[in-house]
């Protein structure tokens, strides 16, 4: 069997302009991200036909911007499968302006996993339900140097959102990464019976574990907790069947449960920060720092680690585990319960600024032009 993978990207050169009189110039780091992202989006749009541009763009205030999900489905926007090779390259170049190499590698692996699912689900090569090109790019608003604008990439197990304004990415959530299978290995003893498919032997992706760090580092932290800490951390004996906040427009939890970072020993705090950084370091270094600075401002000691489900990473019938990192401004959820604990969903939500809604409200209170 022949497998074709068409992911490629290029990073466009930055272009720097002087700020307008009276305008505060963004920091060099912020300017670098802003220029690369703006340039990449504009380069992508210039390669589209008028019909494609109409399909790919929406007003910033359109409700479609909040219509996000992580299941296989038809989506608005312009999917890769309707692009030329040159347009695909330009679309993928947009990703590198908001992600680290780690994050970009995860995205392309998640897309490529659709090829894997075609094989282990015994689907034909041209199957459209498992489709590595069914990932859509959408632009919201008019990218420029003054007004806020946004863009999104979304498909099965992937949903990324960025909102930019005057030299700074002001929102980068919700961020959803998922992987199925979580562990790809030809193994007749695995509880995930799909792994008994002999076609796996010839897969170039054999051995792939896209979210191994998210799993291993969480279990390392869990194992370090003493009995009193475990009583605080474990919120349910059985893992939840899905991330609790699902694809809701506004994420919220009724209460903050779990063991606080303030109540952890130094070595445990290190393990906790290592786990947190796995998620933050998916973003471009500037955006990761921006997110961490926000967490420091509200107090890292207020972050909590909560767990539900099995306490050992064993796949099996009825097995599964869930954890979350929860603080005043952030909620990270991880769930691995489907397919006998071989199917992971993760999400990062900004409890104060998902989709940039809070900062947009503040922006439009302080400007004289028409609201969107």
List, for residues 72-105, the tens digit of each pLDDT value: 999 999 999 999 999 999 999 999 999 999 999 9
How far apart are the C-alpha atoms of 153 and 136, rounded to whole Å? 6
- pLDDT of residue 312 exceeding 50, the answer is yes
Q: 236-289 pLDDT, tens per residue?
A: 999 999 999 999 999 988 889 999 999 999 999 999 999 999 999 999 999 999
Q: What is the mean pLDDT of residues 323-340?
A: 97
Q: What phi and psi, each to the nearest 5 degrees, are found at residue 335?
A: -140, 130
What is the CA angle 126-132-135, rounded to 5? 125
How far apart are the C-alpha atoms of 252 and 322, rounded to whole Å? 17
Q: Is the CA virtual torsion 200, 205, 206, 207 positive or negative?
A: negative
Tokens coding 288: 């990761």
How far apart are the C-alpha atoms of 129 and 121, rounded to whole Å? 11
CB 44 within 8 A of CB 91: yes
Cβ neighbours of residue 52 under 8 Å, at least 6 residues apart? 78, 82, 83, 87
What is the CA angle 292-298-303, rounded to 5? 75
How far apart are the C-alpha atoms of 202 and 89, rounded to whole Å? 28
Question: What pLDDT does 7 receive?
Answer: 41
Cβ neighbours of residue 89 under 8 Å, at least 6 residues apart? 8, 9, 10
pTM across the whole model = 0.88
Q: What is the mean pLDDT of residues 298-305?
A: 97
CB atoms within 10 A of CB 84: 12
Q: What is the mean pLDDT of residues 36-60?
A: 96
Strands 344-350 and 57-58: unpaired
Question: What is the CB-side half-sphere exposure of residue 178 using CA atoms within 13 A?
Answer: 25
How far apart are the C-alpha atoms of 55 and 105, rounded to whole Å? 27
How far apart are the C-alpha atoms of 129 and 114, rounded to whole Å? 9
What is the chain's mean pLDDT, rounded? 89
Q: 341-365 pLDDT, tens per residue?
A: 999 999 999 999 999 987 776 655 6
b (16+ CB within 10 A) / e for 300-327: beebbbbbbbbeeeebeeebbbbbbbbb
């Amino acid at each position: 069997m022949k497998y074709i993978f068409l992911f490629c990207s290029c990073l466009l050169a930055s272009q720097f302009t002087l700020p307008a009189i009276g305008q505060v110039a963004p920091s060099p780091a912020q300017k670098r991200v802003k220029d690369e992202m703006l340039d990449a989006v504009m380069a992508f749009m210039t390669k589209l036909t008028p019909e494609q541009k109409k399909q790919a763009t929406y007003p910033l205030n359109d409700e479609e911007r909040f219509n996000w999900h992580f299941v296989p489905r038809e989506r608005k926007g312009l999917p890769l499968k309707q692009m030329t090779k040159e347009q695909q390259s330009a679309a993928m170049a947009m990703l590198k302006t908001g992600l680290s190499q780690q994050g970009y590698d995860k995205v392309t692996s998640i897309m490529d996993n659709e090829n894997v699912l075609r094989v282990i689900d015994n689907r034909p090569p041209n199957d459209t339900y498992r489709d590595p090109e069914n990932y859509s790019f959408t632009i919201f608003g008019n990218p420029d140097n003054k007004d806020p604008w946004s863009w999104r990439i979304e498909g099965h197990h992937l949903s990324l959102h960025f909102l930019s304004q005057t030299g700074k990415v002001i929102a980068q959530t919700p961020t959803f990464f998922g992987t199925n299978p979580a562990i790809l290995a030809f193994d007749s003893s695995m509880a995930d019976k799909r792994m008994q498919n002999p076609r796996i032997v010839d897969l170039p992706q054999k051995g792939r574990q896209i979210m191994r760090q998210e799993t291993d580092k969480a279990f390392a932290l869990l194992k370090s907790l003493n009995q009193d800490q475990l009583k605080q951390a474990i919120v349910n004996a059985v893992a939840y069947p899905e991330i609790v906040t699902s694809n809701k427009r506004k994420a919220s939890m009724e209460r903050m449960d779990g063991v606080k970072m303030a109540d952890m020993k130094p070595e445990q705090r290190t393990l906790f920060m290592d786990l947190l950084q796995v998620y933050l370091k998916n973003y471009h270094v500037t955006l990761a720092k921006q997110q961490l600075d926000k967490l420091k401002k509200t107090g890292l000691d207020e972050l909590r680690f909560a767990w539900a489900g099995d306490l050992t990473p064993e796949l099996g019938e009825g097995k599964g585990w869930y954890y979350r990192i929860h603080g005043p401004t952030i909620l990270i959820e991880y769930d691995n319960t489907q397919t006998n604990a071989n199917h992971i969903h993760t999400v990062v939500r900004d409890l104060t600024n998902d989709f940039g809604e809070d900062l947009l409200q503040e922006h439009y209170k302080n400007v004289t032009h028409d609201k969107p």
